[in-house]
Amino acid sequence: MFRSVGDISKDEYEVIWLQERPILSVKNLSTHFKMVEGVVKAVQDATFDLYRDEVLGIVGETGSGKSVTVKAIAGMIDNPGFIAGGEVLFLTDEFSKSGEKEYIDLAKLPKESFSRIRGKHIGMIFQDPMTSLDPMYTIGNQMIETIVHHKGITAEEARERAVKLLEQVGIPKPSERINDYPFQLSGGQRQRVVIAIALSCDPDILIADEPSTALDVTVQAQILELMKDLQEQFNSSMMFITHDMAVIAEIATKITVMYGSYQMEMGQSKDIFEHPMNPYTNALLECIPRLDVKLDRLLPIPGQPPVMLNPPDLCPFLPRCSRAGEKCYRDLPQMEQMGDNHFVRCWNPIAGKVRLVKEAQG
Ligand SMILES: Nc1ncnc2c1ncn2[C@@H]1O[C@H](COP(=O)(O)OP(=O)(O)OP(=O)(O)O)[C@@H](O)[C@H]1O
C-alpha cells in the first residue's frame, strides 16, 4: 500500500531526512604538531562522511594518524598540536536556537564548548579503560555524574539507568557492582563499564580507539562481540580504530585505510576486502593469517615505516611500494573515486582503472 507525503509523521520524516544526510562530514582535515625539530604532519586531508547506523573502521599501522584523526574530531588536540585546515561538520541541535538540527564545524568550536559535545553526543572508548575511569570514585558515582550532567535527570533516575546499562554491557549483579571501585574489577569488566558510560547519554556517534587491544585474546573477542551488539541495539553511528584487518572485518560497514598521515583507500567493507586497489591495503590484507595457509609467523610488509617529520609531498608508501612508477616520484596522488563509494589514493592502483573502463564499456 502506498502512502502519500501527508501520511508521514514528523518523527518518521526526521528519520528519513537524517538517513539522507551524514551525521558527520569531515572535509580535508589536517592536524599537525609544531615541534622544535620541525612539523609533524600527523593527519593530512582526511575526508569522509559518517551516516546514521554506519560503522566506519579506520585501519592502519602504528603512527598512521588514526587516533589523531578522531581526537581532532572530538576537540582533543592540545598544544603543540593544532588543526591546520579542513572542516568537521557535525549535525546537532545542541547549539541551535530554532531547535532544528544544523551542521556546526567542530574544527572551529571553542575548547570549552566541547563539554556539550563529548560524553553527550560523542561517546569515547579508549584502549586503556583507566584513562576514562577515576580510581578514586566508585563506578556508580562516575556513571551517575555523567548521566545527571548531560541528561538533566535526578540522581535516583540516573542510578536506575546506570544499573540497567551495566546489565546491558554484561556486568553480573549490576546493582551490587555499581558500588565497586575500578580496581575491584577485571580489565575486561572495566572496559565494559567504560562502554556503558560512553553509551549512557545515547550518543549520536560512538568512537572506539582500539577498545580491545589491551585485553587478553578471549576478552578481546567478547568486547568486540559486545560492541557489535550494542551498536545495533543503540542505533548509534560508530568510528572504530584498529591496526588489525581481521578485527575490522568483524565490525565495519565502511573502511578507510590510513598510512603515513594519509587516507590511502576508502570504501564499503566488502569492496575493500574483495577488490583492494591501493598496494598498501593489499599488503595489509596479505598480512592477515589464513586458516588454509600454515605459516610460522605473520608476513610483515617489507621496508621502513614513513617519516612523519617534514615529509615530502609524495605518496608515503612510495619507498615500500612494488608498483611505484615514475609519476609517484613527482607528485602526490589525490583520493580519486574508482567506483560506487570506493576511493583510492594511488597513481597505479591494482586493476582499478581497467575495471572502471571495462564497466563503462560494458
Ligand atoms: N602529542 C603529540 N606530539 C607530537 N607528535 C604526536 C603527538 N601525538 C601524535 N603525534 C604523532 O602523530 C602521528 C600520528 O599518531 P597517531 O597516534 O594518530 O597514530 P595511530 O595511527 O593512532 O597509531 P597507534 O596505533 O600507535 O595509536 C605519529 O607520528 C605520532 O608520533
Q: What confidence tens digit (pLDDT) does each residue in 313-337 have? A: 999 999 999 999 999 999 999 999 9
Q: Which residue has the higher pLDDT, 76 or 355?
A: 76
Angle between helices 155-168 and 187-199 (to 10 degrees): 130
> Which grid coordinates are listed for 356?
572502471
> Can you give the residue ranges of every domain in the chain?
23-252, 269-344
Pocket test for ligand 1, best of 36, 37, 66 (most atoms within 8 A of CB): 66
Q: Is residue 66 in contact with ligand 1, taking CB distance under 6 Å?
A: yes
Instruction: Please choose, from the candidates 68, 74, 85, the residue with its C-alpha nearest in 3D space to the C-alpha of residue 308.
Output: 68
For 240-266, what is each residue's pLDDT tens digit?
999 888 889 889 999 999 999 999 999
CATH number of the domain located at residue range(s) 23-252 in this protein: 3.40.50.300
Report the atom number in ligand 1 closest to the C-alpha of 40. Answer: 5
Per DSSP, 118 falls in state B
- How far away, in angstroms, is 33 Cα from ligand 1 center? 10
- How far away, in angstroms, is 234 Cα from ligand 1 center? 30
The arrangement of strands across the sheet holding 262-268 comes to 122-125, 205-209, 237-242, 55-59, 254-259, 262-268, 342-345, 335-339
**Sign of the alpha-carbon torsion through 159, 164, 170, 173:** positive
Q: What is the arithmetic mean of pLDDT over 268-286? A: 93
Distance CA 346, CA 332 (A): 8
Question: What ipTM, to 2 d.p.?
Answer: 0.97
Distance CA 208, CA 224 (A): 11
Per DSSP, 304 falls in state P
Contact 154, 135 (CB under 8 A): no
Q: Helix (H, G, I), strand (E, B), or coil: what is residue 31?
A: strand
For 1-45, what is each residue's pLDDT tens digit?
445 555 666 666 566 666 689 999 999 999 999 999 899 999 999
pTM for the whole thing?
0.88
Pocket test for ligand 1, best of 44, 62, 67, 209 (most atoms within 8 A of CB): 67
Contact 344, 328 (CB under 8 A): no
